[in-house]
Amino acid sequence: ATNLLAAHALDDLVSSPWGWQCEFGRCVKKEIAHQEGLSTLNTCKLTCGSSGALWPIPSQVKIEDQLSLFLPNNIDFQFNCPNEVVNLMNEAGDIFKDNILRYHPEYSDGHVPWTGPWDASTESHILYVNGLVTGDAVSLNLNTDESYQLNVTTSDDFTTATIVAASFFGARHALETLSQLIEYHETSDALMVVAAQIEDSPVFPYRGILLDTSRNFVSVATLERTLDAMGASKLNTLHWHITDTHSFPLVLESLPNMAAYGAYSSRQVYTFKQVVDLKEYARVRGVRLLPELDAPAHVGNGWQWGHEAGLGDLAVCVNQEPWQEYCVEPPCGQLNLANPSMYHVLGQLYVELVKLFSPLDMFHFGGDEVNMHCWNASKEISDWMIENDFGVDEEAYFKQWAVFQQRARELFLEATGEEEIQGVLFTSGLTAAENLENYVNSSQYIIQIWTAKDDPVIKDVLTRGYKVIFSNYDAWYLDCGMGAWVGEGNNWCSPYKGWQTVYDNSPYDIAYSLTGSQHTDLILGGEATLWTEQADDATIDSKLWPRSAALAERLWSNPASGWYAAETPFVNHRQRLVKRGIQAERLQPEWCHQNEGLCYL
Amino acid sequence: ATNLLAAHALDDLVSSPWGWQCEFGRCVKKEIAHQEGLSTLNTCKLTCGSSGALWPIPSQVKIEDQLSLFLPNNIDFQFNCPNEVVNLMNEAGDIFKDNILRYHPEYSDGHVPWTGPWDASTESHILYVNGLVTGDAVSLNLNTDESYQLNVTTSDDFTTATIVAASFFGARHALETLSQLIEYHETSDALMVVAAQIEDSPVFPYRGILLDTSRNFVSVATLERTLDAMGASKLNTLHWHITDTHSFPLVLESLPNMAAYGAYSSRQVYTFKQVVDLKEYARVRGVRLLPELDAPAHVGNGWQWGHEAGLGDLAVCVNQEPWQEYCVEPPCGQLNLANPSMYHVLGQLYVELVKLFSPLDMFHFGGDEVNMHCWNASKEISDWMIENDFGVDEEAYFKQWAVFQQRARELFLEATGEEEIQGVLFTSGLTAAENLENYVNSSQYIIQIWTAKDDPVIKDVLTRGYKVIFSNYDAWYLDCGMGAWVGEGNNWCSPYKGWQTVYDNSPYDIAYSLTGSQHTDLILGGEATLWTEQADDATIDSKLWPRSAALAERLWSNPASGWYAAETPFVNHRQRLVKRGIQAERLQPEWCHQNEGLCYL
């Protein structure tokens, strides 16, 4: 977005008559000729309002009225931390530096044309970043202490940013916050940092995004951008819905046929090395990967090789027509319950997944949208049901689904070497009140609520003591609102969920309205979901962002106020994401960004 | 989207078991082990169905069953054309070459790693492109003959593509079509071309996109990508809504204050050189720029310097609050009818615009959404109305609006040196039945219909003999369906208009249903509009594309069949746009693209 020629062409003709002033917490655009002491827009954004440009809002924050100018090569890191986290802190420091370089309007691919000239105090000003990390945790789980303290004090000669955190994960959040206390100063061609005192910790331990890489393939570059933006918004879990009926993009050395049959092409795959690198890429940004292998439904393409390999049909109804009879969307497919070889393959898949994604404290088993007719229409399965005296009514199939789930969990634990992990299951017939306690053990599974916020299942699971993650589709499904992809009109969960809806969706409030209790002990958090029937590299950024950042503030800060109070810093955070290379959706005219509070209804 | 390592990692393990076969006009995915003679997906797409991968569908087309492999450096152009168009043809040839290079899956920024090895016949095969252009037109207008003939015959040694066109504009369409008869051949690492005979011409002479660069700034790079995609879809008019109340991004040498006061920043502007270059960039892609300077409403920011320059207030109600009383969306502003200096500035603006955009056969005056209360609330204007005995009722203001419009047109004609141009006006109170014939001369103005397809105004203008351009918002407003940007909920023209709605919106059918006649003589065409309150560089591609290409087929081919028949080539055209660097929205899972016709309802 550099436009140097244009900038100079206008500056040569006439300089801007505008400046900004903070009035009652709002940046107001005024004419320089009529008002003294106006600041640049960035300066005003950084300092105006109770939390300046910070997103999500910290638990406690005080922005001071002191700004210093400095240059990006005058940053001095001093980290005092356990050996285990030294490398992580150094990498987080590099990310911090890269992020603030991107504030320069002419930043392009790592190249920043800082030109100056600067006055002596700007040129010699040092930003000291002193980090004290007391814990040695190198992986993130539901008990990780992500809190931090950040104090930024500034004087004529130097600025000191002091970070104290119990874990690397808290410390990297502090660095992110520090980067949001910094902006580019237009008229000085330098960075500026504002003094502040901050104590901060998240309300919810699980703050995630679900990204589906099966309906459409998602490149590693897009996954990395997603992780960049998650780090910028203090989200901590990328729930990777790796596979589905549509495709199987994961290359597994011991099961190469899964991707050979299941990938859209040999270019649309993830290698072992890519996944392991991505796990590390995530970690240094404070994010853990939560892999999902959805089963026993939402499988199909990738599983067709069993017959030729002498293992029989591993899945049934694969790509079967008419699809409406066998599944919720084309193409169909479910695992073949009657084929013991299916379990051998599943077990081996888990071995591979554990290898890729360890250390794992959670694993997502999927478990949604099983179609009983698909199973019953398979002669192999219905014969097997009858032979074993299971029967072939719906209840019988639910029972076998539960048996499958139990076996799947056992296989997964075998793969981990019996290390305990928490399973996650989507709400489904299996989690309905009549089945829940029979088939789903609350010490083994977390329930992910994907139905609407008024669905009685939420009460069913909470009052029975199940831990939950919210992704209710009426607020947190980011794929809604496009045109239909089967038939015409708009897609099933239309309308589009605006950021206001995303922001105002409060798990505690939902729980309270249904049960009379906020169930703070059971609600682990939530996630924005991007199912990719209608998204790929071209638009994943703009569907996820900035709306996932609205979710991020809901889950980090759980603000008492609604979207209206958050609008100005939220729009500013969107601008920051764009500076960092994220193609986030534009929410409003730039005029609203420059005239805070005036785009109201 | 290159992923070489991944590709090799999978290929090393196991090769793809899939191939494609054309059955009843559909590409069907089959297992190589079970079926001989399968082709690659690209091969099938190029040859299957009555018009292969062409978009929009040509008037007459016959795809032959002959394919040849060739390499991109073996293309030989021979253009026989008037001197005036030699350079244009050469540039169109370069664009053609660049487009087909992009078909390589590892294409990146001009670098294409063709590696071979190729067999001798592939390596020596020549693609001769022989173009005969009989006319010397170098600019596009409503009478331009855009028709072309294209014959592609192929033999073992060479392929000949013969183009005959009456104008450069027809010839460049032929090159675009030829590029759509070419694809990358996966297993040969070469290009392939399919033989075909085509005669083609558009149904409508005006096939456009409206892009608003005022609500949010749009970079030149994004404008260029938009023009690339327009060329790829045979759209011919970029209606550039340059300015609005929000901002004035155009740097004008004689009126530098317009951008100084009105641009969002000195970086968010267009210079003289950029505009002139863009006009040329458009031309070689078969597109003309239609500039709009909306007036007398939709002005404001950029016009505030009059008072300080001793010219009085050039506009009134600028950024006035509460905005709901003075305009349809924040911020407000309208030209000051009572100030003669306003006309001096307007006339000078037109002089600058004519200089930038000549040759012009059309100019868009805007003319929408005038708020009478804004004018009447200005003491200067209401005093002036009373002093001149005009009165201050609504009728009086309509009359003065019409006087304004007449004066504006005269000023524009002065700027062109009295060269006749057709004005365009949006439907408004001025074009309502009771005002239309009093205030709008059908020989001077074309009416752009932006209201819904059942609006009686359509009948009013057509039965009175006005020429029209359609952009009815219930189908062709591409900004609809997002979250609201003032208040909450969804934006005003929600829901989102899916491509099916865009495609099926037929101006002739609308006219027929309202008037009993298709009015083919009056309907010049239509345009997709992208108002940018909620779009900027990050998402303009995905909002415009591929939906604008659905409009393109409607206006080029006016197909008798609806969206269902067009789905497969449309989805393929989207993939082509992505290959050409356009971040077009994904419509369906890749599975649907690879399994044609199976994502139905």
Cα B42 from Cα B29, distance rounded (Å): 12
Cα B289 from Cα B223, distance rounded (Å): 11
Give the residue-averaged pLDDT of A574-585: 98
Q: Do B260 and A487 touch (CB under 8 A)?
A: no
pLDDT confidence bin for B108, thresholds 50/70/90: confident
Q: Is B478 touching A (CB cutoff 8 A)? A: no
Which residues are CB-contacts of A387 (< 8 A; sequence separation ≥ 6)? none
In single-letter form, the type of residue at position A487 comes to G
Instruction: Answer yes or no: is pLDDT of B6 > 70.
Output: no
Cα A578 from Cα B40, distance rounded (Å): 38
Q: Do B583 and A10 touch (CB under 8 A)?
A: no
In this predicted model, what pLDDT tens digit does every residue of A294-350 receive, in sequence order? 999 999 999 999 999 999 999 999 999 999 999 999 999 999 999 999 999 999 999
State the Rg of chain B over Cα: 26
Give the Cβ contact number of residue B369 at 10 Å.
16
Q: Report the SS3 class of residue B412.
A: helix
Looking at chain B from residue 358 to 397, which residues have their Cβ under 8 Å from any Cβ of chain A?
none
Q: Which chain A residues are within 8 Å of B274, Cβ to Cβ?
A: 5-6
What per-residue confidence (pLDDT) applies to B434? Answer: 94
What per-residue confidence (pLDDT) applies to A111? Answer: 79
Q: For A533, which residue in chain B has the nearest alpha carbon?
A: B589
- Would you say B533 and B216 are in contact if contact means Cβ atoms under 8 Å apart? yes
pLDDT confidence bin for A11, thresholds 50/70/90: low
Q: Is A315 touching B (CB cutoff 8 A)? A: no
**CA-based torsion, B347, B353, B354, B356: positive or negative:** positive
Q: Do A490 and B495 touch (CB under 8 A)?
A: yes
Out of B6, B220, B257, the one facing A269 most closely (by C-beta) is B6
What per-residue confidence (pLDDT) applies to A6? Answer: 54
Burial code (b: 16+ CB inside 10 Å, e: under 16) for B72-89 equals bebbebebebeeebeebb
Q: Do B498 and A484 touch (CB under 8 A)?
A: yes
Q: What is the DSSP string of A201-239?
A: --S-SEEEEEEE-SSS---HHHHHHHHHHHHHHT--EEE
What per-residue confidence (pLDDT) applies to A13? Answer: 66
Q: Is A598 touching B (CB cutoff 8 A)? A: yes
Tell me the fold of B4-200.
Chitobiase; domain 2 (3.30.379)
Q: Is A120 touching B (CB cutoff 8 A)? A: no
Which residues are CB-contacts of A20 (< 8 A; sequence separation ≥ 6)? A27, A28, A29, A30, A38, A39, A40, A41, A43, A44, A594
- Would you say B548 and B209 are in contact if contact means Cβ atoms under 8 Å apart? yes
Q: Do A253 and B583 touch (CB under 8 A)?
A: no
In this predicted model, what pLDDT tens digit does every residue of A468-519 receive, in sequence order? 999 999 999 999 999 999 999 999 999 999 999 999 999 999 999 999 999 9
Which residues are CB-contacts of A410 (< 8 A; sequence separation ≥ 6)? none
Give the residue-averaged pLDDT of B90-99: 98
Out of A9, A323, A534, the one facing B271 most closely (by C-beta) is A9
Instruction: Answer yes or no: is pLDDT of B7 > 70.
Output: no
Out of B485, B533, B586, the one facing A536 most closely (by C-beta) is B586
Instruction: Answer yes or no: is pLDDT of A361 > 50.
Output: yes
Residue B27, both tokens: 């590409």
Statement: B206-450+536-565 belongs to CATH 3.40.605.10: no
Q: For B498, which residue in chain A has the nearest alpha carbon?
A: A483
Report residue A475 CA to chain centroid gap.
15
Out of B256, B305, B485, the one facing A588 most closely (by C-beta) is B485
Instruction: Answer yes or no: is pLDDT of A83 > 60.
Output: yes
Instruction: Answer yes or no: is pLDDT of A10 > 90.
Output: no
What per-residue confidence (pLDDT) applies to B110? Answer: 79
In this predicted model, what pLDDT tens digit does every residue of A491-503 receive, in sequence order? 999 999 999 999 9
- Would you say B569 and B57 are in contact if contact means Cβ atoms under 8 Å apart? yes
Q: Which chain A residues are within 8 Å of B584, Cβ to Cβ?
A: 538
Task: Exactly one of A244, A294, A329, A567 is catalytic; name it.
Answer: A244
Q: Which chain B residues are within 8 Å of A308, Cβ to Cβ?
A: 33
Task: Exactly one of B298, B364, B519, B593 is catalytic; name it.
Answer: B298
| Residue-level length of chain B | 601
Q: Is B319 touching A (CB cutoff 8 A)? A: yes
Cα B423 from Cα A601, distance rounded (Å): 35
Q: Which sequence spans correspond to the domains of chain B? A: 4-200, 206-450+536-565
Instruction: Answer yes or no: is pLDDT of B95 > 90.
Output: yes
Cα A388 from Cα A376, distance rounded (Å): 14
Tell me the fold of A57-200.
Chitobiase; domain 2 (3.30.379)
Give the residue-averaged pLDDT of B50-77: 96
Instruction: Answer yes or no: is pLDDT of A379 > 60.
Output: yes
Q: For B15, which residue in chain A has the nearest alpha carbon?
A: A260
In this predicted model, what pLDDT tens digit does every residue of B510-553 receive, in sequence order? 999 999 999 999 999 999 999 999 999 999 999 999 999 999 99
What per-residue confidence (pLDDT) applies to A2? Answer: 40
Instruction: Answer yes or no: is pLDDT of A568 > 90.
Output: yes
Give the residue-averaged pLDDT of B214-235: 98
Cα of A149 to nearest chain B Cα, Å: 34
Selected residue of B218, B534, B590 to mutate for chain A interface (largest A Cβ count, 10 A): B590
pLDDT confidence bin for A7, thresholds 50/70/90: low
Residue B408, both tokens: 């504006």
Cα A7 from Cα B251, distance rounded (Å): 10
Q: Is A512 touching B (CB cutoff 8 A)? A: no
Cα A598 from Cα A26, distance rounded (Å): 10
Cα B463 from Cα B444, distance rounded (Å): 17
Out of B269, B274, B331, the one facing A591 most closely (by C-beta) is B331
Residue A433, both tokens: 């009140």
Question: Would you say the ipTM is above 0.90?
Answer: yes
Give the residue-averaged pLDDT of A193-214: 98
Instruction: Answer yes or no: is pLDDT of B258 > 70.
Output: yes
Out of A251, A495, A532, the one facing B490 most closely (by C-beta) is A495
Out of A1, A270, A494, the one facing B219 most closely (by C-beta) is A1
CATH superfamily of A206-563: Glycosidases (3.20.20.80)
Selected residue of A265, A276, A579 to mutate for chain B interface (largest B Cβ count, 10 A): A265
What per-residue confidence (pLDDT) applies to B588? Answer: 98
Q: Which chain A residues are within 8 Å of B28, Cβ to Cβ?
A: none
Closest C-alpha to A469, from A530, A424, A524:
A524
pLDDT confidence bin for B4, thresholds 50/70/90: very low
Residue carrying the six token digits 């017939």: A429
Task: Exactly one of A173, A239, A246, A298 is catalytic; name it.
Answer: A298
- Strand B75-80 and strand B126-133: the pairing is parallel
Check if A244 is active-site. Answer: yes
Cα A271 from Cα A220, distance rounded (Å): 10
Q: Which chain B residues are within 8 Å of A563, Cβ to Cβ?
A: 488
What per-residue confidence (pLDDT) applies to B9? Answer: 60
Question: Distance between the two ends of chain A, CA-based, in angstroms?
Answer: 31
Mean pLDDT of all residues belonging to chain B: 96
Q: Is A25 left (phi over 0), alpha (psi -120 to 50) or beta?
A: left
Instruction: Answer yes or no: is pLDDT of B8 > 80.
Output: no
Q: Do B6 and A260 touch (CB under 8 A)?
A: no
Domain B4-200 shares a fold with domain B206-450+536-565: no
Q: Which chain A residues are within 8 Å of B476, Cβ to Cβ?
A: none
Looking at chain A from residue 525 to 544, which residues have their Cβ under 8 Å from any Cβ of chain B?
532-539, 541-542
Check if A298 is active-site. Answer: yes
Q: Do B247 and A10 touch (CB under 8 A)?
A: no
Residue B415, both tokens: 């700027």
Q: Do B590 and A259 touch (CB under 8 A)?
A: no
Residue carrying the six token digits 């066109």: B165
Cα B249 from Cα B217, distance rounded (Å): 7
Cα A384 from Cα A396, distance rounded (Å): 12
Burial code (b: 16+ CB inside 10 Å, e: under 16) for B466-489 equals bbbbbbbbbbbbbbbbbbbbbebe
State the alpha helices, DSSP H only, in A358-392. Answer: 372-377, 379-387
Q: Is A548 touching B (CB cutoff 8 A)? A: no
In this predicted model, what pLDDT tens digit does every residue of B443-481 receive, in sequence order? 999 999 999 999 999 999 999 999 999 999 999 999 999
Which residues are CB-contacts of B383 (< 8 A; sequence separation ≥ 6)? B338
Mean pLDDT of all residues belonging to chain A: 96
Instruction: Answer yes or no: is pLDDT of B236 > 90.
Output: yes
Instruction: Answer yes or no: is pLDDT of A164 > 80.
Output: yes
Which residues are CB-contacts of B441 (< 8 A; sequence separation ≥ 6)? none
Cα A442 from Cα A467, distance rounded (Å): 7
Q: Is B145 touching A (CB cutoff 8 A)? A: no
